[in-house]
Structure 1
Amino acid sequence: MKRRVAIVGCSLRIPGTSANSFWQDLLENKDLVTEVDSDRWGKDSFLHPDKRHLGSSYTFAAGSLGDVSGFDAAFFGLSPREVTHMDPQQRLLLEMSWEAMESAGIPPSSMRGSQCGVFIGIASVDYAYRYSDDMSAIDANTGTGTASSIAANRISYLFDLHGPSMSMDTACSSSLVAFHQACRAIVSGEIDMALTGGISLHLHPFGFMVFSKATMLSKAGRCQAFDEAGDGYVRSEGGGVFLLKEYEAALADGDPIIAVVAGTAANADGNKSGLTIPNPAAQIALMQKAYQEAGIRPDQITYLEAHGTGTSVGDPIETSAIGEALGKSRAQPLPIGSVKSNVGHLETASGVAGLAKALYSIHHRIVPATISVKNANPKILFDEWNIEVVTENRALSKTDPIVIGINSFGFGGANAHVILTSPEFDASEPSVDVEAADAECDTPLPLMLSARSDAALSAMTRQWADHLLETPDSLYDLAWTAAFRREKHSKALLVLASSKAEAAQKLTQFNDDASTQSVFTGECLANAQGPVFVYSGNGCQWETMGKHLLNESAVFRLAVEEVNQHFQTYADFSIVEELQGLNGSGRFVKTEVAQLPCLPFRLG
C-alpha cells in the first residue's frame, strides 16, 4: 500500500497579523498589506515614481512582519556574536521549527538522532547585500550566517536531525516545491518525518528595485487577483514550517493530524515564449497528473487555492489552465481564490500562505473570501472554463470529505501543486464535550510548565492563563500534554487545580505575586533517574491489599516478611497474615491495625 503523509504540526509568520489572529482576519476579509517597515532602510532615498530612474523602486508597498531583529540566542545555544551575523531568515526558521514540533506535541529533544529530513524554500540573500554595503563588518560567521544552504543545515545541526537537509530556490514556488520533495521522501520510505516550509524577508531594497524595473510590482500596491485592475503584485514577507509524518506512524503515536496530503506534483514550463511567461500547457499537465495520481476526480475537489498574484498576464493563463485541467470536467463550477488578496505575495514563502489558508479552511470548514475582485478580469472566461472566485466566506459541508488544491508557480517556470484532504475523523469538532471539559475534576490535577528563564516562565504563565479560559480542551488533556508532550526546561512551575478556571486564576496570581503559595516553582533536574519513594499518610489502605503480590512476587513477600520479623517484637499479630486477610474482617477500622501494614506494603 502506498505510504501517505500527515501534517501534524505547523508554525507561521504572517504579515500584518499573528498566527493566532490570521484566521479571524481572513474571515473578516481584512487587507493586511501596508509598507516596508520603517526600520529596514531609508525608503525616501530609493523611492521614485518613474521606473527608469536609476537605483530606485516606484513602490514600497508590502506585507510586513515589522521588527524581526529580536532573537533568543541562548535558547538555541548560540552566541550573540554569531547571531548578529545570522540572516534573520535563519533565526525565524529555527523558531518556527521548534514551534512546529511543539505544536505537534513532540518534544524537540525526542527528535535528536532521528532521520527527520529538512526541506526549506529560501531565495532572498538581502542580508548578504547589507554586508556588501559595509564589507568591514564581515567576519568568520558571515559566510554561514548568510548562505542559503545553511538555512536548512542549521536546523538539522541544532536539532541533531540526520535525514536529508536542503535549501531550494525555485523563486515563488520554493516552499511548495520543498513541501513536495519532503512528501516524496516520506512516501518513498527514505524518511518517516520532515520539517518543511519557507521564508522571505525584506532586508535590502535590491529586490524592490529589480522587480520594479521589470514592471512586475503593482503600482496600486495590492495583489488584485482576478480583477480587471490587476497590474502586478505586492511583495510581502513571512514564512512557516510544517512537520510532516508518515500517516500510519502518526496514527500509532497519537499525533494530532491537521490534514492528510493526498498528493503532490512538480514540473517545469520548458521552452516557451519568454522565460518569465507562464506556460498553460505545463500547468494543465501538472494539475492533471497530481489528481490522477491521487485518484481524485475533478468533481471531488472542494476548493482550489490559486497562485493568483494579480498580474495581467499570469491570472488569465492560470485560470485557463485550471479550467482546462479541472473545471471543464466538473458538473458545478470549481471554486477558486487567492490569499494574496489579503496578505500580498510572500514570494518564496507564498506556498506557506496558501497551505495555511487551506489548513484553516479544512479545520473550520469555511473558505474565506478573496477580497480583490471588484470587477472581474474580462480575460478570464469564468463560465466557459467552469470556475468561480469565492468572493464571500463560504461554509463547507459539515460531514463530507474536504479536498483542497494549492498552486504555486515560480517566475522561471518551476511549478508545484499540493492536494490536502480532511482527516478521516472530523477534526473540525472539539474532541471533548465543552461543558464536561469546563467541569471540575474530582481531585486536583498537576499542571506543570517549564521555560529556560524566569522571564520566559512568567510569559508562559500569562499565555497559559489566557489559553485555559479559551480552549475547549479539558484540564486533564491539557495537564497530560504539558507533562508528557512538552520539552522540559530548567525553570519549572507546578499548579494544582480542579478546573481550568482555578488553574488560570492561580497562574494569574503568580504573575501578580511570584511568592503566592498557590503555585510551586523550582529547578528541573536534568536526566533525572533512579527510584523515587513516596509514602502517603493514613487513609489509602484497604483490607487484603497486597494479597496477590504476596502470592505472586517473591521479592515483595521477602520484603514484607523482613519488616514483619522486626514488627513481631512489638505486636501480637502478623502483618503478613493481616495483608492476607487471615486475622479476620473489619479490622482496618481500628487505627492501631490500619496504619501498621502501610509501611511494609510500600517497601515491598
Structure 2
Amino acid sequence: MTKRVAILGYSHRLPNSTGNSYWDNLLNEEHLITEVEAGRWSKEAFLHANKNHAGTSYTFKAGSIGDISGFDAGFFGIAPREAAQMDPQQRILLELSWEALENAGIKPSTIRGSQCGVYIGIASADYSYRLADDLAAIDSAVATGNTASIAANRLSYALDLRGPSMAIDTACSSSMVAFHQACQSILSGENTQALAGGISLHLHPYGFIIFSKASMLSKKGHCNVFDEAGDGYVRSEGGGIFVLKDYDLALADGDPIIAVVAHSGVNTDGKKNGLTVPSCTAQAELLKQTYAKAGIAASEIDYLEAHGTGTAVGDPIETRAIGLALGQHRSSESPLLIGSVKSNLGHLEAASGVAGLVKALHCLQYRMVPATIGIKKTQSKN
C-alpha cells in the first residue's frame, strides 16, 4: 500500500476568531475584516487616498488578530530582553507549536531528541524594518530574532527536535509548500513526524505601501472572491501549525487522526504573460497530476477549497484551471463545489494556506461546507 500522511492535530490564530468561534463565524457568513490593529503604527502618517502619494497606502483594511505583545518568555526559556528583540512571528510560532502538540495528544517532552522535522512558511520581515528605523536599539539578539531560518530552527531548538528544520518563502504558497515538504520528508522515510505551517503578521506599513502602489489591494476592503466586483485582495494576518505523522505508524501508535493526506504536489508557472500573473495551463496540469497520483477521480471530489483572492486577474485563471482539470470530468448533474475562506477573513499571504486547510479540516469534521460570501455576479470567462 502507498504510504500516506496523517494529520494528528493543529493550532491556529486567524483574524477576529478564536479556536472555538472560527467555525461558527464561517457558518454565520461573517465578514471578519476590520483594520490593522491600532497599536502597530500611525495610520494617519501613512494613509492617503491617492495611490501615487509618496510613502503611503490607500487602505489599511485588514484581517487582524489584535494585540500580539503578550508572550510568556520564561515558559520557553527565553530571557525577557531577548524576547523583546524577537520577531513576534517567532513568538507566536512557539505558542502554536506547543498548542498543536497538545491538540494532537502529544506530550512535548516525549518527542525530545526525535527526528521530527519542522517546516515553516514565512515571508514577512516587518519587525526587522521597525528595528532598522532605530539602529541604536539593535543588540546581539536581533540577528537570531529576525532571521527567517530561525523561525523554524527556534522551534527545533525549544522542543529539542533533530529532524530537518527549514523556513520556506514561496510568497503566497509558502505555508502549503512547507506542508508539502513535510509530507514528502515523511513519505521518503527521512522523518516519521513533522510540524508544518506558516505565519504572517502586519508589523510595519511597508507591505501595505508596496501592494498599494501595485494596485493589488481592494479599496472596498473585501475579498470579493469569484465575483465580478472583485477589485483586489485584503491583507490579513495569522498563522497555524499542523502535526503530521506517517499514517501507518499513527495507526499502530493509536494516535487520533483528523485527516489523511492522500497526496500533495508543487510546481511553478514558468514564463507566461507577466511575472505575477498565474498560468492556467500549469495550474490545471498540477491538479491533474496530483489527483491522479492520489488515486482520486474528479467525480469523487466533494469540495475544493481554492486560493480565490478576489482579484480580476487571478480568480478567472484559477477557476478555469479547476474546470479544465476537474470540473469538465464530472457530470452536469454533479457540479464541483469550490470556495475560498478569503471571502470571510482576507488573504494571509505566506500563511494563506493555513487558513484554507483549517477550513477544510472543519468541513471534514462537521460534514458541512460554509458559504463563500460576497458573490453577487460571477466573473465572465476569459
TM bracket, shorter-chain basis: over 0.9
Distance, in Å, in 1 between the alignment partners of 2:2 and 2:251 is 16
Counterpart of 2:359, as a letter, is K
Match of 1:210 in 2: 210
Helix, strand or coil at the partner of 1:284? helix
Match of 2:373 in 1: 371
Counterpart of 2:209, as a letter, is M
Question: Residue 223 of structure 1 contacts residue 340 of structure 1 at CA under 8 Å; is this kept in 2?
Answer: yes
Which residues in structure 2 correspond to 1:255-270 (within 5 Å)?
255-270=255-270
Match of 1:429 in 2: none
Question: Residue 2 of structure 1 contacts residue 187 of structure 1 at CA under 8 Å; is this kept in 2?
Answer: no
Match of 1:193 in 2: 193
Per-residue CA deviations over 1:70-111 (Å, capped at 9, x if unaligned) read: 000010011000000100000000000001111111100101
Helix, strand or coil at the partner of 1:98? helix
As a proportion of its length, which structure holds more strand? 1
**Pick from 347, 350, 354: which aligns with 1:348?**
350
**Pick from 340, 361, 366: which aligns with 1:338?**
340
Question: Residue 11 of structure 1 contacts residue 96 of structure 1 at CA under 8 Å; is this kept in 2?
Answer: yes
Match of 1:326 in 2: 326
Distance, in Å, in 2 between the alignment partners of 1:132 and 1:53 is 23
Output the TM-score relative to the length of structure 1.
0.63
Distance, in Å, in 1 between the alignment partners of 2:374 and 2:172 is 20
Deviation (angstroms), 1:378: 2.4
Helix, strand or coil at the partner of 1:10? strand
Distance, in Å, in 2 between the alignment partners of 1:254 and 1:25 is 32
Distance, in Å, in 2 between the alignment partners of 1:330 and 1:179 is 29
Which residues in structure 2 correspond to 1:397-412 (within 5 Å)?
none
Which residues in structure 2 correspond to 1:91-490 (within 5 Å)?
91-331=91-331, 332-379=334-381
Per-residue CA deviations over 1:11-60 (Å, capped at 9, x if unaligned) read: 00011111111001111111100000010000011001111110000000
Distance, in Å, in 1 between the alignment partners of 2:62 and 2:7 is 29
Please say which structure displays the higher CA radius of gyration.
1
Per-residue CA deviations over 1:242-298 (Å, capped at 9, x if unaligned) read: 000000111111111000001100000011110001111110111011101001000
Distance, in Å, in 1 between the alignment partners of 2:280 and 2:380 is 18
Runs of 4+ in 1 over 4 A off after TM superposition: none
Match of 1:551 in 2: none
Match of 1:476 in 2: none
Distance, in Å, in 2 between the alignment partners of 1:372 and 1:107 is 42
Distance, in Å, in 2 between the alignment partners of 1:344 and 1:89 is 19
Distance, in Å, in 1 between the alignment partners of 2:3 and 2:377 is 44
Q: Which structure 1 segments of 5+ residues have no match?
A: 381-604
The answer to whether structure 1 residue 34 and structure 2 residue 34 are counterparts is yes
Counterpart of 1:274, as a letter, is G
Distance, in Å, in 2 between the alignment partners of 1:281 and 1:377 is 19
Distance, in Å, in 2 between the alignment partners of 1:70 and 1:379 is 47
Counterpart of 2:345, as a letter, is V
Match of 1:49 in 2: 49
Deviation (angstroms), 1:379: 3.2
Which residues in structure 2 correspond to 1:505-584 (within 5 Å)?
none
Distance, in Å, in 2 between the alignment partners of 1:97 and 1:15 is 18
Counterpart of 2:373, as a letter, is I
Counterpart of 1:279, as a letter, is S
Deviation (angstroms), 1:324: 0.2
Distance, in Å, in 2 between the alignment partners of 1:106 and 1:253 is 11
Helix, strand or coil at the partner of 1:12? strand
Match of 1:4 in 2: 4
Helix, strand or coil at the partner of 1:194? strand
Per-residue CA deviations over 1:280-326 (Å, capped at 9, x if unaligned) read: 11101110111010010000001011100000000100000000000
Deviation (angstroms), 1:339: 0.2
Distance, in Å, in 1 between the alignment partners of 2:380 and 2:264 is 31
Question: Residue 225 of structure 1 contacts residue 309 of structure 1 at CA under 8 Å; is this kept in 2?
Answer: yes
Helix, strand or coil at the partner of 1:84? helix
Q: Which structure 2 segments of 5+ residues have no match?
A: none
Per-residue CA deviations over 1:466-495 (Å, capped at 9, x if unaligned) read: xxxxxxxxxxxxxxxxxxxxxxxxxxxxxx
Deviation (angstroms), 1:376: 1.7
Output the TM-score relative to the length of structure 2.
0.99
Aligned identity (percent) is 65
Q: Whose RCO is larger (CA < 8 A, sep 6+)?
A: 2
Distance, in Å, in 2 between the alignment partners of 1:236 and 1:213 is 18
Counterpart of 1:345, as a letter, is H
Match of 1:386 in 2: none
Per-residue CA deviations over 1:448-473 (Å, capped at 9, x if unaligned) read: xxxxxxxxxxxxxxxxxxxxxxxxxx
Deviation (angstroms), 1:2: 2.1
Helix, strand or coil at the partner of 2:264? strand
Per-residue CA deviations over 1:525-568 (Å, capped at 9, x if unaligned) read: xxxxxxxxxxxxxxxxxxxxxxxxxxxxxxxxxxxxxxxxxxxx
Distance, in Å, in 2 between the alignment partners of 1:202 and 1:330 is 41
Per-residue CA deviations over 1:571-598 (Å, capped at 9, x if unaligned) read: xxxxxxxxxxxxxxxxxxxxxxxxxxxx
RMSD across aligned positions (CA): 0.7
Distance, in Å, in 2 between the alignment partners of 1:351 and 1:97 is 17
Count, aligned residues: 380
Distance, in Å, in 2 between the alignment partners of 1:199 and 1:78 is 20
Distance, in Å, in 2 between the alignment partners of 1:286 and 1:44 is 44
Per-residue CA deviations over 1:365-416 (Å, capped at 9, x if unaligned) read: 0000000202222237xxxxxxxxxxxxxxxxxxxxxxxxxxxxxxxxxxxx
Per-residue CA deviations over 1:488-527 (Å, capped at 9, x if unaligned) read: xxxxxxxxxxxxxxxxxxxxxxxxxxxxxxxxxxxxxxxx
Distance, in Å, in 2 between the alignment partners of 1:269 and 1:226 is 21
Distance, in Å, in 2 between the alignment partners of 1:37 and 1:292 is 44
Distance, in Å, in 2 between the alignment partners of 1:134 and 1:283 is 43
Helix, strand or coil at the partner of 1:119? strand
Counterpart of 1:310, as a letter, is G
